[in-house]
């Protein structure tokens, strides 16, 4: 799957969850300690622009603030990222970062941002009582890619302590536990 197609798929599901948040649901607690539902959107909208600006000189269009309009902020942001990935020149542009080196811009977005959107879909869905099911094949792909880098990922500060999950649990639960979330968070009953 191309970077543009993968982003379209996963950002599309996140967009459905964003649009499914009731107006009074944006301050609901999220599975990330100290975050509310609004903060899940804020994280995705705010970290990528700096990453792209510093690594590739790309300036993404900005929408309204997440505090004023989380749906509008996400919609503008997702469209800007999709437009970047669909630009035929993007794969020929270089992304440079002191920690990861150089790679084509579309691959940088596909490796670092799109998986973040995918995983945070679970957070937003759980925070707001929506369908939290994720694509099991992509869960398995991400988990297989991250497990060998467990120590490095923990040291980066980007993931909380791993939550132990039964090795026979569904792959989504194992991925969620790996990134530091309790798969049972927010489940009623």
Read out DSSP for 127-163? HHT------HHHHHHHHHHHGGGHHHHHHHTSS-PPP
Structure-token match 């670092």, residue found: 112
In order of their start, the domains of the chain are 3-133 (1.20.120), 135-183 (no CATH)
Distance, CA of 61 to chain centre: 18
pLDDT surpasses 90 at 61: yes
pLDDT for 154 equals: 77
Structure confidence at residue 158 (pLDDT): 77
Phi-psi region of 180 (alpha: psi -120 to 50; beta: other; left: phi over 0): left
Percent of all residues in the chain with a pLDDT value above 90, rounded to a whole number: 85
The reported pTM is: 0.93
Q: Say what percent of the chain tops pLDDT 70.
A: 98
- For residues 147-176, give the mean pLDDT: 88
8 Å CB contact between 28 and 39: no
């Amino acid at each position: 799957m191309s970077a543009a197609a993968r982003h379209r798929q996963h950002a599309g599901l996140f967009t459905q969850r964003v649009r499914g948040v009731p107006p009074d649901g944006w301050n609901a607690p999220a599975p990330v300690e100290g975050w509310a539902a609004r903060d899940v959107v804020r994280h995705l909208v705010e970290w990528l622009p700096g990453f792209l600006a510093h690594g590739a000189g790309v300036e993404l269009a900005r929408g309204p603030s997440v505090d004023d309009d989380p749906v509008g902020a996400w919609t503008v942001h997702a469209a800007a990222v999709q437009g970047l990935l669909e630009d035929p020149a993007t794969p020929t542009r270089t992304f440079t970062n002191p920690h990861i080196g150089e790679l084509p811009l579309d691959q940088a977005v596909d490796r670092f941002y799109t998986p973040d959107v995918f995983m945070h879909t679970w957070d937003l869905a759980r925070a707001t009582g929506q369908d939290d099911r994720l694509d099991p094949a992509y869960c398995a792909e991400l988990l297989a890619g991250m497990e060998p880098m467990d120590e490095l990922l923990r040291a980066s500060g980007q993931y909380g302590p791993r939550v132990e999950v039964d090795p026979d649990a569904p792959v989504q639960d194992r991925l969620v536990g790996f990134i530091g979330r309790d798969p049972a968070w927010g489940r009623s009953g």
